[in-house]
Chain A
């Protein structure tokens, strides 16, 4: 009896381990690339035309790239239960300049409703879509959580490109555009090119 219990317990460990490794593989291959993709936003980084690494004043580096989501690469549960709502997220707005910036954000070429959920250690003004205080050089907004939720109606979902525009980070005081990150939601069989650094609060 005791021996049997030991065997069953060992089998349970193997099953748990297999499920955990499988979950890690699924997260890497599918979830992190296509569902509520998280990405780094350094500023000023100019127009982000391809994958790029920019230097921080303290010597660190920040990776960024255009965000391309292939919606038919999403997980099957997402496609079944909530196909029309897509999201992007960041915890990392990083000032790589040598001077402070009070920043704002906007999307270009908006064709669908986008809900903004913004909260961080610096207060956010939803009317002007700007933060109320500057981010110091080399610093990032602490405890930041931003989710952008795109609601795609069926007529948009019938098209091959659901959204193609960009996220613009601008200086709220001068209006200067600091970083422009292209964003695209498309129906494609190609693998997505979104950031894979998708675990919350990962170190920059």
Chain B
């Protein structure tokens, strides 16, 4: 019931969720299919081809040569970051199939059953703590081999598991391989970070390097007057706290009428704009 209310309140965002699925996830993967068709490649067209994790692993381990010829992946990353700088992390908030699925799932669970640490911790600590750890592990696994570490890029990838789940749904007779890392990811992404996480964006906060870097770009861009961002005017605020409740990334923290709007986790989903009947939130330049 609450899910229907949420969909009705912000229906274009859910239309975007479906579009994101159709654009990036096989069997449709329309965007990837179109690019590969144009390139004349017969390679697999699935979510894996616009990987959210591998490019960061390559960059932080100095593996730049591997980017040669990977035009789709490079263009995708650049586009996500440029948009994040000027308009906010719209890919994360509107199109990402991984985040949108866990967020949608979380709406099935009553609020009292979900983890909500938004008042206890700064969610940016989760986000950048993971990013720093991701970089650290990538560097150590490459330059300090004796430590016995491997990169945590591919073995713990929610996008791979998402594609695997969709493959099973569309081709139930085919074999699907589940490795231990993948099973752990499903637990951390869909169960802990999804169903049982207030807002359903746990994975985005504690395990997505692209999300973290997008928010660095958004934070930097938000300092300029020409970029779009969520803005808050407390004049008409009735302290109903709905904005705080609907924010999927715990980016809003209230102190009576004033709020802290955390640009390090805000994904420009505009849920706060839609839920506030007093018009306290606006998405605009300035």
A-chain residues with CB within 8 Å of residue B128 when the two chains form the complex: 13
The count of residues in chain B whose C-beta lies closer than 8 Å to any C-beta of chain A is 49
Q: List, in ascending order, chain A residues with CB within 8 A of B148's CB.
A: 25, 28-29
Question: Contact: B65 with A203, CB < 8 Å?
Answer: yes
Query: What is the total number of residues of chain A having a CB less than 8 Å from a CB of chain B?
Result: 55
Q: Nearest Cβ distance between residue B40 and chain A, in whole angstroms?
A: 8
Q: Which residues A21-45 have CB closer than 8 A to chain B?
A: 21, 23-32, 35-36
B156 touches A23 (CB 8 A): yes
Interface assignment of B153: CB less than 8 Å from any CB of chain A = yes
A143 engages B41 (CB within 8 Å): yes
Q: Is the pair A35, B179 in contact by a Cβ cutoff of 8 Å?
A: yes
Interface flags for B145-159 (1: CB within 8 Å of A; 0: not) read 000111111111000
Query: B183 on the interface (CB 8 Å rule)?
Result: yes
A49 CB within 8 Å of chain B: no
Contact B152 A20, beta carbon cutoff 8 Å: yes
CB within 8 Å of B: which A164-204 residues: 196, 198-203
**Which chain A residues in 1-28 approach chain B with CB under 8 Å?**
4-6, 8-10, 12-13, 16-17, 19-21, 23-28
Q: In the complex, which of the residues B66, B121, B179, B183 contacts A12, with contact meaning CB atoms closer than 8 Å? A: B121
Any chain A CB within 8 A of the CB of B169?
Answer: no
A115 CB–B CB distance under 8 Å: yes
B136 contacts A13, C-beta separation under 8 Å: no
- A13 partner residues in chain B, CB cutoff 8 A: 125-126, 128-129, 132
Contact status A21-B42, CB under 8 Å = no
Residue from the set B119, B129, B136, B177 with the largest chain A CB neighbour count within 10 Å: B177
CA A78 – CA B130 in complex, angstroms? Answer: 25
A residues 113-134 touching B (CB-CB < 8 Å) = 115, 119-124
**Inter-chain contact A16/B149, CB cutoff 8 Å:** no
Cβ-defined partner of B137 (8 Å) among A21, A75, A87: A21
Tell me which residues across on chain A come within 8 A of B153, comparing CB atoms.
Answer: 199-200
B184 at the interface (CB under 8 A from A): yes
* Docked complex Cα distance between A188 and B126 (Å): 40
- Residues of chain A within 8 A (CB-CB) of B120 are 4-5, 8
| Cα separation A201 to B58 with both chains bound (whole Å) | 10
Q: Is residue B69 within 8 Å, beta carbon to beta carbon, of the partner chain?
A: yes
- Closest CB-CB distance, A125 to chain B, in whole Å? 11
B236 vs chain A, min Cβ distance (A): 27
> Is A76 in contact with chain B by the CB < 8 A criterion?
yes
A16 touches B130 (CB 8 A): yes
Surface stretch bound by B, among A64-72, A99-107, A145-153, A154-162:
A145-153
Q: Mark B30-41, 1 if CB is under 8 A from A, else 0.
A: 000000000001
A36 pairs with B129, CB closer than 8 A: no
A27 neighbours in B (Cβ, 8 Å): 149-152, 155-156, 181
Q: Which 10 residue pairs spanning A and B have beta carbons closest together? A: A75-B180, A20-B133, A143-B43, A13-B129, A9-B125, A28-B150, A119-B44, A24-B149, A27-B150, A77-B180
Q: Which residues of A contact B (CB under 8 A)?
A: 4-6, 8-10, 12-13, 16-17, 19-21, 23-32, 35-36, 74-78, 81-82, 85, 87, 115, 119-124, 142-145, 147, 149, 151, 196, 198-203
Q: List 20 A-B contacts (CB under 8 A).
A: A12-B125, A16-B129, A20-B133, A20-B134, A20-B137, A21-B149, A23-B156, A24-B137, A24-B140, A24-B149, A24-B151, A27-B152, A28-B141, A28-B150, A115-B174, A119-B42, A119-B43, A143-B43, A199-B151, A203-B58
